[in-house]
Amino acid sequence: MTSAKSMSNSEDGFKGTKPERKIFPPKTCISCGEEFKRTLDMQATTWRTKKTCSRECLNVSRNNAAIKRNEAKHGAGCLDDKPCQVCGVIMTKADSFGNYVFIRKRTCSNECAGVLRKETYTVHAKKQTAPPKTLEWYWEQHTPLQKLIHSAITRPLLRKK
Ligand SMILES: [Zn+2]
Ligand SMILES: [Zn+2]
């Protein structure tokens, strides 16, 4: 009995020492769909979190994730080609600049940016020359409670005069 058990144990132990014991089945790359295997120098923890076959695919998948994040934040199509707000030339997101830069980008060139800046300045200037607000307008900005408190304080004073 005892000898038989120890024999089976030793058999298991022998199987265990074989390098094939730890099997890492190949994975499918989430970016290109190719199957890839764990390399000998790769840490088990690295393999566990690995979803892409190569650095290029990792960059693509990261970029796709970033696009999804940006679309969730700034609306779908925020990274699509769009016209310059000044001259109307179609702008495409070059790989060289970040998604956020492109989302913020409204003009194709420094010249157009300058024109747009001038336009926004004139809009601001127009806003500044708007007629000043009347006292009634400020009064209407108060909540009913504020009005009640203010009139309770000011009315007796006015009556005294
Ligand atoms: Zn891949
Ligand atoms: Zn332009």
Residue 98 Cα to ligand 1 middle (Å)? 22
Residue 18 scores a pLDDT above 60 = no
* 89 Cβ neighbours under 8 A, 6+ residues apart: 83, 108
pLDDT band at 7 (very low <50, low <70, confident <90, very high): very low
Report the 10 Å Cβ neighbour count for 129.
6
pLDDT tens string 141-157:
888 888 888 888 776 66
More confident residue, 56 or 134: 56
Whole-number Å distance, alpha carbon 128 to ligand 2 midpoint, is: 28
Ligand found nearest the CA of 106: 2
Q: Which ligand is nearest to the CA of 61?
A: 1
Query: Would you state the pLDDT for residue 13?
Result: 46
* pLDDT for the residue 157: 62
Separation of 73 CA from ligand 2 center, angstroms? 26
d(CA 49, CA 52): 9
Q: What is the pLDDT of residue 27?
A: 94
pLDDT recorded at residue 53: 94
Q: Identify the nearest ligand to the CA of 110 by its number.
A: 2
Q: Is the pLDDT of residue 52 over 90?
A: yes
pLDDT at 140 over 60: yes
Distance 68 CA to ligand 2 centre (A): 27
- For residue 60, the CA-to-ligand 2 centroid distance in Å is 30
pLDDT tens digits, residue range 69-102? Answer: 989 999 888 889 999 999 999 998 876 678 888 8
Residue 129 CA, distance from chain mean position = 39
pTM attached to this predicted model: 0.46
pLDDT band at 16 (very low <50, low <70, confident <90, very high): very low
Q: Are 88 and 74 in contact (CB under 8 A)?
A: no
- Judged by its nearest atom, the ligand closest to the C-alpha of residue 50 is 1
Give distance in angstroms: CA of 66 to centre of ligand 2.
27
Ligand lying nearest the CA atom of residue 29? 1
The residue behind tokens 């127009």 is 126
Q: What is the pLDDT of residue 135?
A: 83
For residue 14, pLDDT beyond 70: no
